[in-house]
Amino acid sequence: MVLSATQVQQWERDGFLVLPGAIDPAACDRLVGRAEEIVEAFDASTVSVFSTHEQTRTSDEQFLASGDAITCFFEADAFDEHGTLRQDKAQSINKIGHALHDLDPTFDAFSRQPAIAEAAASIGIQDPKLLQSMYIFKPPRIGGEVTCHQDSTFLYTDPMTVVGFWVALQDATVENGCLWAQPGGHRTPLRRRFVLDPSGGTRFEDLDDTPLPEPGGPELVPLEAPKGTLVLLHGLLPHWSDVNRSDRSRQAYTVHVIDGTAAYPAENWLQRRGDLPFRGFDGRTEVVGSTNC
């Protein structure tokens, strides 16, 4: 997916780029099938609930350990007051993260397909390193909101280089919780960073008090995306997705890429063990910055 000059200009103007038809629908189907297998094999007794409310994320050791693992996270509303799943396990998962692209061959091939590698090169990522991957389920009826945020908060480099490559594996619409983004919002400052706390756990470090756009307000526009659409998201771009109360899931896959020419801070929450360094699109292994452990 080599981008045209016009597309690169749109990217630079808006901080996002929507590319319908960039990804083969059959490849999307293969990923959906592989995710089903991972969830089927997942032992639900080792529960981790993913909530977009920061406290849960902050206190969840399983989340912190997922940077170099394949971990299933339940929706916050998956369980009733008795701790029983409200619907099937397969319809209760929020996401799988965060090293699918390095640990699972199907996800490895999907993440490193030429369409994504060429798009990354087109927008000037010199030394791409695949940092994080997430399979997002947004299940029917209980799919949770993802509050307005900037990805550089969680995936920081110095200078900031992270770009999200988001793929609609199913049609994403306003009804089932598509992405919303602020055109040009990538030119606003980074509000905060999510960092490891030297005393244990994690914390947010406030950097700028400019408010993020309010969900439902006029600054955010919906990025409706038919199956097979590739969406590029700048790390500073404020974006949000709503709950899914419809009867259709909105499955998506996202891989975040950084430029290996930038420094990767040791206080980032996502750290890799030494035998699993960040790799590029060509699969070369190279340690980036100060990955610890």
Q: Binding residues for Fe ion, per CB under 5 A? A: 151
State both tokens at 169.
Answer: 């594996």
CA distance 65 to 59: 12
For 51-182, strand residue ranges (E) read 70-75, 93-98, 128-136, 146-149, 163-168, 179-181
Question: Please, which residue, 104 or 151, has the CB nearer to Fe ion?
Answer: 151
Q: How far is the CB of 149 from Fe ion (least distance, A)?
A: 6
Q: How far is the CB of 151 from Fe ion (least distance, A)?
A: 5
Question: Please, which residue, 56 or 87, has the CB nearer to Fe ion?
Answer: 56
Question: Please, which residue, 91 or 254, has the CB nearer to Fe ion?
Answer: 254
Question: Please, which residue, 42 or 212, has the CB nearer to Fe ion?
Answer: 212
Enclosing H/E stretch for 115: helix 114-122
Contact 235, 151 (CB under 8 A): yes
Q: How far is the CB of 154 from Fe ion (least distance, A)?
A: 8
Contact 271, 67 (CB under 8 A): yes
Question: Please, which residue, 151 or 224, has the CB nearer to Fe ion?
Answer: 151
Q: What are the angstrom distances between the C-alpha of 97 and each of 13, 94, 125, 240, 279?
A: 30, 10, 23, 19, 16
Q: How far is the CB of 237 from Fe ion (least distance, A)?
A: 9
Q: How far is the CB of 199 from Fe ion (least distance, A)?
A: 27
Question: Please, which residue, 248 or 256, has the CB nearer to Fe ion?
Answer: 256
Contact 138, 168 (CB under 8 A): no
CA distance 199 to 267: 12
Q: How far is the CB of 239 from Fe ion (least distance, A)?
A: 6
CA distance 106 to 122: 25
Report the residue number whose CB is nearest to Fe ion.
151
CA distance 36 to 34: 5
User: How many Cα atoms occupy the beta-carbon half-sphere of 51 within 13 Å?
Assistant: 14
Question: Please, which residue, 60 or 151, has the CB nearer to Fe ion?
Answer: 151
Q: How far is the CB of 255 from Fe ion (least distance, A)?
A: 12
Residue 137 CB: number of other CB atoms within 10 A?
27
